[in-house]
Structure 1
């Protein structure tokens, strides 16, 4: 494989902050990067995607109830389904707590993530939002909650309030979603390496590592 020292490898990740598979996928990508010799030349960009864009803004519902309504499954079936995800998350060091999780519309959370990216904190902001929803029972459409979560990773509180009070970054969120659709993504997580290689889903670590090696050796790796 050709060396990529001095060349940037970009990984774009379409993800929703309430998606348990996305957090598992992030952990597996992180582990692959730990084994990748040129990890210092990798830039990860977190892009917006909504698993349930039809969820009414301002509506809040326990996740188990929302899943039962959406899938038509019984409460027992929903808990069995999420129980498998909880076990997979635990294997990645993620303590999912769906008993406390609240289903919301994630559009404002994605606008905050776009703001975080503008401050150079996109990865930190996205992870903080995922942990807040999936592990801590935070309500991630609540303005004060989003202000606090933004502040925790270094996004100024005044900037968060200003963004959430208007429609800043709304077009960026919509453009990310349109772009995912144009690339053929039907779900998330969806990883695109240098717009050359795609990885769909929370794949095993070795799959991510193989994709990193292929993308690093491709002519499309952009020079710094």
Structure 2
């Protein structure tokens, strides 16, 4: 049974959730569990190198945002609450991040560990990354820190691979895929398509695993899953993210009509109108009875100021599908 943990390593609940999952698995008697870490970003704009968290917390805007996380507590009281929970889970003896730091390279290191040594090495690296951030209060955006973390976890090649830029695309795509799949909190546990959000108590996690283990996993071809995730991102208002996932498909399945039309939609919604036209004009010629293609082509031309040509395609779309009129 594969358990995916979609989490950000700078999220305290990710580390707490890891401990609670371990406690749930200690009493697990079902199929052997394989834990795989997937990237999620709670603070995508965090810098590298990081900035001292004490300075960040003095910012009134940050203070206001943190008050929204636990409205009944001050930010300081909430941090104390999380610290008590972490210590109760055996995380310590000291607890508390010292830096607001980008987690992108840490996620790259975790992904590389999975490639190099599978789930056991990946889990060891994830553990050391979170320990460095929350217990040792180190800036995990720094290459030297991640190199030391990697060595402590038994992955001495990690620092060199990071320096070479490895796994950058992998992590960026996985973050997008998680968003497309509906991951919206750190951590989120996913098993056979079922999801459990948050660092729930071990008994809740155990019950979730028991229920999810009985489900039949839905296996889709990689290109189909990629296409569905790209479409989901477009529906979520992220056309650039959709294009990131579509680019490999355009290279390998560039003659597939569905892939091309989805790319045209993404280009249109990201204002890359010339690129949209290069797809839509041949599509309209190949399938002149496709009212949606005619509509999108007309709107693309309209946005470019070519009102004469746009009107012809828009009239044709409306004639075939009256709902497109107006």
TM-score range, shorter chain: 0.7 to 0.9
Q: Structure 1, unaligned stretches of length 5 or more?
A: 1-8
Secondary structure in 1 aligned to 2:141? coil
* Distance in 2 between residues matched to 1:160 and 1:55, nearest whole Å: 22
Secondary structure in 1 aligned to 2:135? helix
Does the aligned pair in 1 maintain the 2:6–2:40 contact within 8 Å?
yes
Does the aligned pair in 1 maintain the 2:24–2:205 contact within 8 Å?
yes
Does the aligned pair in 2 maintain the 1:215–1:221 contact within 8 Å?
no
**Counterpart residue number, 1:61:** 51
Q: 2:43 matched to 1:52? A: yes
TM-score normalised according to structure 2 size = 0.59
Runs of 4+ in 1 over 4 A off after TM superposition: 73-76
Q: Structure 2, unaligned stretches of length 5 or more?
A: 68-72, 220-326
Does the aligned pair in 1 maintain the 2:4–2:36 contact within 8 Å?
yes
* Distance in 1 between residues matched to 2:155 and 2:183, nearest whole Å: 29
* Distance in 2 between residues matched to 1:169 and 1:221, nearest whole Å: 26
**Counterpart residue number, 2:250:** none
Does the aligned pair in 1 maintain the 2:188–2:197 contact within 8 Å?
yes
**Counterpart residue number, 2:290:** none
Deviation of 1:160 (Å): 2.4
* Distance in 1 between residues matched to 2:206 and 2:199, nearest whole Å: 13
| 1:45-124 → structure 2 map (5 Å cutoff) | 45-58=36-49, 60-69=50-59, 70-72=62-64, 77-95=74-92, 96-98=94-96, 101-120=98-117, 121-124=121-124
**Counterpart residue number, 1:154:** 154
Q: 2:227 matched to 1:192? A: no
What is the CA deviation profile of residues 13-58 of structure 1, one whole-angstrom value per residue up to 9, with x for unaligned ones? 111111111111111111110111026x111100111111112332
Q: 2:19 matched to 1:27? A: yes
Does the aligned pair in 2 maintain the 1:143–1:161 contact within 8 Å?
yes
**Counterpart residue number, 2:8:** 16
Structure whose residues are more often strand by fraction: 1
Aligned length: 208
Secondary structure in 2 aligned to 1:138? coil
Does the aligned pair in 1 maintain the 2:13–2:187 contact within 8 Å?
yes
Aligned CA RMSD, in angstroms, stands at 2.2
TM-score normalised according to structure 1 size = 0.85
Does the aligned pair in 2 maintain the 1:12–1:45 contact within 8 Å?
yes
* Distance in 1 between residues matched to 2:164 and 2:24, nearest whole Å: 38
Structure whose residues are more often helix by fraction: 2
